[in-house]
Amino acid sequence: MGHPTENMVENQTCDAFLNGRLHIRQPRRGYRAGSDSVLLAAAVPARPGDRVLELGCGAGVAILCLGARVPGLALTGVEIQPAYAALARRNGLENGLALDVVEGDVAALPPDLRAQSFDHVMVNPPYLGAGQGTAAADRGRERAWREETPLAAWVDTAIRRLRPGGRLTFIMLAARLPELLNCLDGRVGNVAVLPLAGRVGADAGRVLLRARKGARGPFRLAAPLVLHEGPQHGADDTDDYSARAHAILRKGAAIDF
């Protein structure tokens, strides 16, 4: 599949998340969400009745995982690629979760969405900066992995859409944490960072970041969440998640940090 709009129906899979609580359609060879989306959803401290916005929702995995964990949320996703936006809408319907998906650029949201505010904004932005790494052959995967819109624009849009006291949640490569903190520019407080380490003793490859609009609390670096047991990867058919990671990724537990 070259472009994600070509033969999307024929070239997709239906993947189970949260031990089968969700079944999500994704492009077979385009951008495919995995554990990062589930971890992001688990880190959002939402309560029933809250309004939640995800910037760059793709096929809807992260925001639907959140909706499956916390009932009664008003869920909105923004996605620039029409084929992925259509998949997200379908995935919401097929999983019995109301999800409003808006097609648009995070740097230039439609006026009606700019007029709204949310209790939570969740973001899994493209991991690679412009010019980093090797370009993916699939356009949908390329747009999801390498930024065309600068990280600063993702952060600015997220903060603007938060109500006073609203909460921001990001998942990012650990190497880009300094850039992310710089983009926050003092506009949020109570910033907490949770390193995500593959194994005990390994460097964190990714981080979760939470912050609150209008808060003035100090920065906090939490103890790492170790995702896998043992010193190295075992057989491909084994599930070697740590007990905490298994509870999050398989049973839908929240991440508290």
How far is 120 from 254, CA to CA, in rounded Å? 15
Among the ranges given (3-12, 18-27, 45-54, 72-81), the one the predictor scored with the smallest mean pLDDT: 3-12
Relative to beta strand 188-197, strand 204-213 is: antiparallel
Comparing 73-77, 95-99, 154-158, 234-238, which segment has the lowest mean pLDDT?
234-238
One-letter amino acid for residue 240 of the chain: D
Q: What number does CATH give the domain 12-249?
A: 3.40.50.150
pLDDT of 128 > 50? The answer is: yes
Query: Given the DSSP bridges, would you call strands 12-17 and 22-27 parallel, antiparallel or unpaired?
Result: antiparallel
Q: Please give the model's pTM, rounded to 2 decimal places.
A: 0.89
Question: For residue 111, with 0-12 CB atoms within 10 Å meaning exposed, 13-18 middle and 19 or more buried, which class applies?
Answer: exposed
